[in-house]
Structure 1
Amino acid sequence: MFGLGKKRTKFGKWLDREGITQIEIEEKAKLGRATVSRLCNDFEYQPKYETVAKVKKALKQLGYNLPDDYFGM
């Protein structure tokens, strides 16, 4: 559905499967577009703990629970 054939991280693929947009995560987690894009597309990106905590909190508000291994931790 989303992704347009780009290589996606485990987290990016999960968002695509669930139909959650990166914009929704940006807004709910109060993160920048570049940060969310790196989480979804950059296999080398190692997010800070605070970033993962914000994303997990945003996902919880949307009714989802996701383990840390989806964030390369």
Structure 2
Amino acid sequence: MSEKYGLGKYRTPFGKWLDDHKKTSVEFAVESGVHRNTIDALAGQKGYGARKPTMDKVLKVAKKIDPEATYEKLFPPM
């Protein structure tokens, strides 16, 4: 099931979460300290996986925005 948002681009569950919370990859990158290219890849590349310390930073900021955010919801196994 390939869901597309915006201009027909593929969005991962994390990408959909960013869209739902009206966050851009640039805003999220600044808040998390993770490079924007990594945030873009996590949001739009199927199967992309970052290192654990990076994912921990992403999840920490996501939980500040949405306390119900979990690793399993944002990055389910493909």
TM-score by length of 2: 0.76
Matched residue count? 71
**One-letter amino acid matched to 1:46:** G
Contact 1:47 1:71 in 2 (8 A): no
Counting strand residues as a fraction of each chain, which structure ranks higher?
Answer: 2
What CA deviation, in whole Å up to 9, does each residue of 1:7-60 have, x standing for no partner? Answer: 110100111112111111100111112100110011121122111110122223
Identify which range, 41-50 or 52-61, moves more after superposition: 52-61
Percent identical residues: 34
Q: TM-score, normalised by structure 1?
A: 0.80
1:4-43 correspondence to structure 2 within 5 Å: 4-43=7-46
Query: Could you tell me which of 63, 66, 70 is aligned with 1:64?
Result: 66
CA distance in 2, matches of 1:34, 1:25: 11
Consecutive aligned runs of 4 or more in structure 1 exceeding 6 Å deviation: none
Q: Bigger radius of gyration, 1 or 2?
A: 2
- How large is the Cα RMSD of the aligned pairs? 1.8
